[in-house]
Each structure stands twice: as structure tokens, then as C-alpha cells.
């Protein structure tokens, strides 16, 4: 999960100027009834666990949750139209795709 936006779109195939093929990602995520995407909130963050809680020791230098993804590899709009159940899980939170995003 390189990037995610408020519409539920994911970018897993473009990293800055580098473009990598999505492999079977599009086929698998499009045909599954339920999809759970797992990633981190930022790139390069450092964590500690204290009293069963995750503590952000150092924030990452690049956010993965952005206003608009650079490249749509998974369409939140299409997933909503298909009635797909979608979760976005990070070390800090869990989001679900709803009618409004």
C-alpha cells in the first residue's frame, strides 16, 4: 500500500518516478468479495510497544494517506459500486470503505 486516499483508492504500483507492474493485484482485489489492505501510516516510522500500546517513537518522513493517489491501482469507486467489503488496516487504525469514501 504505497498510497491511499479518502475515496478508498490505492496505489501499489507507482513509487515516485518508479513504476512497477501490479502483478496479479488487480485481478485478485477486483474479484474478491472482501479485501483487507494492510500497511503503515507513514514510511520509515519507528515504534515501540509499552503497556500493550503502540507508541510512535519517530514519525515517518512520507505519508501514505494522501489527498489523491498518484496512480489508481485499486478503485474505491468501483469497489463501492460492486458492493465489495473493504478494510484498510494500519498499525494505528482500521478504516472501512463506505458509500461516501
* Domain extent listing, the chain: 3-96
User: In whole angstroms, what is the distance from residue 49 CA to residue 46 CA?
Assistant: 11
Q: Would you state the pLDDT for residue 16?
A: 75
Domain 3-96: which CATH class? alpha beta
d(CA 18, CA 95): 28
pLDDT of 27 over the 90 cut: no
- Grid coordinates representing 90 are 494500519
pLDDT at 24: 83
For the stretch 38-92, pLDDT in tens is 999 999 999 999 999 999 999 999 999 999 999 999 999 999 999 999 999 999 9
For 6: left if phi > 0, alpha if psi spans -120 to 50, otherwise beta; the answer is alpha
Amino acid at each position: 500500500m504505497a498510497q491511499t486516499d479518502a475515496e478508498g483508492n490505492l496505489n501499489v504500483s507507482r513509487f515516485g518516478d518508479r513504476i512497477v507492474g501490479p502483478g496479479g493485484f488487480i485481478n485478485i482485489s477486483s474479484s474478491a468479495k472482501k479485501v483487507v489492505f494492510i500497511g503503515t501510516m507513514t514510511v520509515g516510522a519507528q515504534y515501540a510497544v509499552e503497556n500493550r500500546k503502540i507508541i510512535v517513537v519517530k514519525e515517518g518522513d512520507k505519508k501514505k494517506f494522501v489527498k489523491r493517489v498518484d496512480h489508481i491501482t485499486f478503485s474505491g469507486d468501483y469497489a463501492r459500486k460492486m458492493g465489495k467489503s473493504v478494510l484498510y488496516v494500519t498499525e494505528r487504525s482500521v478504516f472501512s470503505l463506505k458509500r461516501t469514501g
